[in-house]
Amino acid sequence: MSFYATVSGYLSYRTHDHLAATIHRLTRGQWLNHEEQWILNGDPDRIRCDGTIDHDRDLFVIPFGLYRNLARITTELFTGATEGQLVISSTDGCFDAWIEEAVPAAAEVPPGQGGEVSKIQCIDLIEFAEENGFGVKAVSDPDYQSWQHDVLTAFHNEHDPDINGMLDSSNTQRF
């Protein structure tokens, strides 16, 4: 069973080996191809985008988008991270959002190993909607999906890191 979630964020790694392990994991999971391009739903012929990895700075950026099953493995990606933040939301059988960030101990975890590497802050999207003037809609309301979209757009606008700014000094693509 697949789980779809919108993800955006970045990870900076302590070593090239940590970055390589993340690239390997995402290639094996069919989110990246062997040219380090993001692909859609595991289809190597459908390129989402490329140019989100800065090998010189060990910086890995996940461009804003809807991904299948990526939210299920994000914690693995924090191994070896010196800093990082992923902003995630989903309406796939839920109405949830969370922000995952690297913890200091993550940088010391060897590539491919597990451990305490991130912390997750769960966001109450109903509360977020009320605090930001969207009110609350019932699932039965004809405008419910539009309301969800508006709330999630506002959530990501407020919390997504500035990935373009992070990539400004490198030769990678802007989104």
Which pLDDT belongs to residue 174? 45
pLDDT in tens, 4-51: 999 999 999 999 999 999 999 999 999 999 999 999 887 878 888 877
Indicate the domain borders of the chain.
Answer: 4-167
Reported confidence tier of residue 169, pLDDT bands at 50, 70, 90:
low
Which pLDDT belongs to residue 55? 95
What tokens does 166 get?
Answer: 């992070």
Please tell me whether residue 95 adopts helix, strand or coil conformation.
coil
* Cα–Cα distances in angstroms (integers) from residue 112 to residues 23, 34, 64, 141, 157, in the given order: 11, 19, 25, 46, 32
C-alpha 11/C-alpha 70 separation (Å) is 15
Which pLDDT belongs to residue 170? 54
pLDDT in tens, 85-128: 999 999 999 999 999 999 999 999 999 888 899 999 999 999 99
C-alpha 106/C-alpha 111 separation (Å) is 10
Which pLDDT belongs to residue 65? 93
Task: Please give the radius of gyration of the chain, using alpha carbons only, rounded to the nearest integer.
Answer: 17
